[in-house]
Amino acid sequence: MALNIVLMGPPGAGKGTQAKKIIQAYAIPHISTGDMFRLAIKEGTKLGLVAKSYIDKGDLVPDDVTIGLVKERLAMDDCKKGYLLDGFPRTIPQAEALEVLSKEIGREVSLVIDIEVEKKELIRRIAGRRVCKNCGAPYHVDTAKPKVEGVCDICGGPLYQRLDDNEAALEVRLTHYEEDTKPLLDFYKKTGKLVVLDGGEGSDRLFEKITSILGEVSDDNH
């Protein structure tokens, strides 16, 4: 049975960190709309230019652009055995579009994991986050240091601070989370697919909880 997972949570909750562990353990593709936009920005494509004008300020990229991108990606062959959506959906129209398009292609969402962390800790994490320019692996200047300063442990790439990881953009991102994304929790609660986890725990402990939930989901579907 395919694991079709949606990972939700505010900026800095640890979605990217858990996503990297999940895709490695379950061999499913990681579909992060944030990563897709950042790649388009790096490559200087038309999509990148549009996305940059929103992302740098902390605003959401318009729904039509984002939905089109995910629709194309979910239809690809490697999503046949499952997928991990990270950062999508983020608005009610995106969630509604996902319901329709995932049904159309027979790849309906089986589980929604929401990672919750208190605001003070989110600010601490985002302020200290450094990311690998090559592979996107996240680090933290105090609590998740690389072995060699400024160098990724995994691929040796240089670490940098994201442009939207500043105080002003973070405030806008947190407001979008509260106003646009949080209402999705009610939407998914009604489907019975939502699991809410405390992301204030260490990332290894959180991953243990996620693997135990994923085990139950795949058992239920056998």
107 is catalytic: no
Q: How far apart are CA 17 and CA 72, in angstroms?
A: 25
- Judged by CB, which is closer to ligand AP5: 114, or 164? 164
The CB-of-177 to ligand AP5 minimum distance in angstroms stands at 8
CA atoms within 13 A on the CB side of 32: 19
Nearest alpha carbon to residue 87 among 4, 167, 19, 170: 19
Query: What is the residue whose two structure tokens read 């230019």?
Result: 49
Q: How many residues bind ligand AP5 (CB under 6 A)?
A: 36
Nearest alpha carbon to residue 107 among 131, 85, 74, 137: 74
Q: How far apart are CA 40 and CA 23, in angstroms?
A: 22
Give me the numbers of helices (H) and strands (E) for the chain, helices first please.
9, 8
- Judged by CB, which is closer to ligand AP5: 185, or 218? 185
85 binds ligand AP5 (CB under 6 A): no
Kindly identify the residues of this chain, within the stretch 171-210, that bind ligand AP5 according to CB under 6 A: 173, 199, 201-203, 206
Among 14, 74, 84, 110, binds ligand AP5 (CB under 6 A): 14
Q: Give me the active site residues, please.
A: 15, 90, 129, 162, 173
For ligand AP5, the binding residues (CB under 6 A) are 9, 11-17, 33-34, 37, 54-55, 58-61, 66, 87-88, 90, 94, 125, 129, 138-140, 143-144, 164, 173, 199, 201-203, 206
